[in-house]
A and B are shown apart, each in its own frame.
Chain A
Amino acid sequence: GAVVSQHPSWVICKSGTSVKIECRSLDFQATTMFWYRQFPKQSLMLMATSNEGSKATYEQGVEKDKFLINHASLTLSTLTVTSAHPEDSSFYICSARANNEQFFGPGTRLTVL
């Protein structure tokens, strides 16, 4: 199956700083990638849909100015959490679509102190 990677796998940062998470499709091109967030013991919640070469589409309740998404190439989408706060601590997972199927990355654990 198609492989999706994320970097970093975990990150700890101070409150007020910005953190960038990368999502790469390793062996295929993805015009569409998705960003999810999972809080402990909760479901994965879709945050936004990232489209190559255009603006991301955000789900209701997700601040686009806080969660900046850039899909600059067919194999890379980035999520930047700006001015992170402790409540942003979560598990962030991306997925990329190929052949009508979504392939998920391994996730990034963000802890904001």
Chain B
Amino acid sequence: DQQVKQNSPSLSVQEGRISILNCDYTNSMFDYFLWYKKYPAEGPTFLISISSIKDKNEDGRFTVFLNKSAKHLSLHIVPSQPGDSAVYFCAATLYNTDKLIFGTGTRLQVFP
């Protein structure tokens, strides 16, 4: 039972354009959503997060949007850079827990 889903296993974007990574969830008790970036053979690194009481959070080139009614969140990267090429995981936490529930990841490739 995959509570956090990333339906696109891969995404290819030209440098300078916008990258949009999507994530859907099923559990309405999630209170925090996070995005992580991961390179091969390395652990994930935190990118940006959003509380369930907000609908947008922005940090530099990264913006996360949350649509609670649709149980959907997205990560926008603009402008995309080749160094952004990695696997991106969305994750969620349940109220009053530290447990992270991860999606399956989307491999982003930014080409020149």
A interface residues, Cβ below 8 angstroms from B:
1, 4, 6, 9, 32, 34, 36, 41-46, 49, 91, 93, 95, 97, 101-107, 109
Contact = CB atoms under 8 A, between A and B. Distances in A.
B98 interface: yes
B89 A44 contact: yes
Interface stretch (B41-49, B55-63, B65-73): B41-49
A106 B102 CA distance: 17
Mostly, the B contact residues are: loop
10 shortest A-B CB distances, which residue pairs?
Answer: A104-B43, A43-B102, A44-B102, A43-B104, A106-B43, A105-B43, A104-B44, A93-B43, A107-B43, A106-B42
A41 to B, nearest CB: 7
B9 interface: yes
Contact of B41 (A36, A46, A95, A107): A107
B64 interface: no
A93 B41 CA distance: 10
Interface of B: 2, 4, 9, 36, 41-46, 89, 98-105
Mostly, the A contact residues are: strand
Contacts of A95: 43, 100
Tell which of B9, B43, B104 has the most Cβ of chain A within 10 Å. B43
A95 B46 CA distance: 12
Contact of A109 (B9, B41, B44, B99): B41
Contact of A102 (B4, B98, B103): B98
B73 to A, nearest CB: 15
B10 to A, nearest CB: 11
B99 A101 contact: no
A49 B105 contact: no
